[in-house]
Amino acid sequence: MSERLPVVDRLIFLLFLIIIAVPFVTPMKLPLPISPSTRKVYEVVTGLKPGDAVLWVTDFTLSGWAEVAPGEIAILNLILDQCREKGVKLVLATTYSGESMAVVKRIYGKYLDFSGLKYGEDYVFLGWVPGYESALAGMASDLHATVKTDYYGTPLSEIPMMKSLRRKEDFALFGFSSSTSPDPYPRQWSGVPIVANILVATVGWLMPYVEKGIVVAYVAGIKGGAELEYLMGKPGMAMGLITAQSLAHFYGVALVIVANIYYFGFARREKG
């Protein structure tokens, strides 16, 4: 019996690897309870009207990729759907650090669907606007004075959709993602509906703004991202992670049951 144990161990781990890999190879849409806040984010975004403008600031760093990126990808693709369907305008930027710019390039270049949209008319990328909170404040009061050109060096005054977007009152929605303090964003953009994509650990930090109605709703961590993907009907990175986690738990429980059955049945019989 002892000679078979190494083989059994290898089979157990091999099966475990296969189980957690399946959701990433073949997206699965398992039933998922939706939190009120995630549902509210979905309703706010899909409730945008034709011609509404959104400013989204992606400010999380590489350390927050695993937890924040899935929700970021889902939210931005949902907004881009509204751009295609309703003519919503999307302005993209980052203010936190150069590292955030690396995150932005990866997300925009690999995970977002810009098909059917025209740059300069449907969406604009401002790039890194240095200054963090001072940059957020500047964009809220006078966007054109704070950001002279887009990421590609084109003056904002020469970009068609930017001509009417000068201050926060011109935007129907402001959104941000962060892997640190969420405080600067509602401090500078209060008065405009705000949605956020944050770490689970910083939800408590954000709640006073939610309770005061300054922040409308938020997506929290991988689970929040998976909930949004579920509502969109588009399983992606977040649902893959959540499904893999759920299957791993089921597998662990199954192993415990099988081990106990074996012990109380075959093993004790062999001893006897």
pLDDT tens, 42-94? Answer: 999 999 999 999 999 999 999 999 899 999 999 999 999 999 999 999 999 99
CA distance 74 to 79: 9
Q: Which CATH number fits domain 35-234: 3.40.50, 1.10.3470, 3.30.720, 1.25.10?
A: 3.40.50
Q: What is the pTM of this model?
A: 0.82
Task: Print burial letters for 130-139: b (CB count within 10 Å at least 16), e (below 16).
Answer: eebeebbbbb
CB atoms within 10 A of CB 186: 22
Burial 83-119 (b: 16+ CB within 10 A, else e): beeeebbbbbbbbbeeebbebbeebbeebbeeeeeee
Predicted local distance difference test score (pLDDT) of residue 31? 72
Provide the pLDDT for residue 53: 98
* pLDDT under 50: residue ranges of the chain: 1
Taking residue 255's Cβ as centre, other Cβ atoms within 10 Å add up to 13
pLDDT given at position 37: 97
Domain locations in the chain as residue ranges: 35-234, 238-272
The partner residues of 55 in beta bridges, in order of sequence, read 91, 174
Please, what is the end-to-end C-alpha distance for the chain in angstroms?
15
What integer pLDDT is reported at residue 249 of this predicted model? 62
Q: Tell me if 201 sits within 8 A of 220, measured CB to CB.
A: no
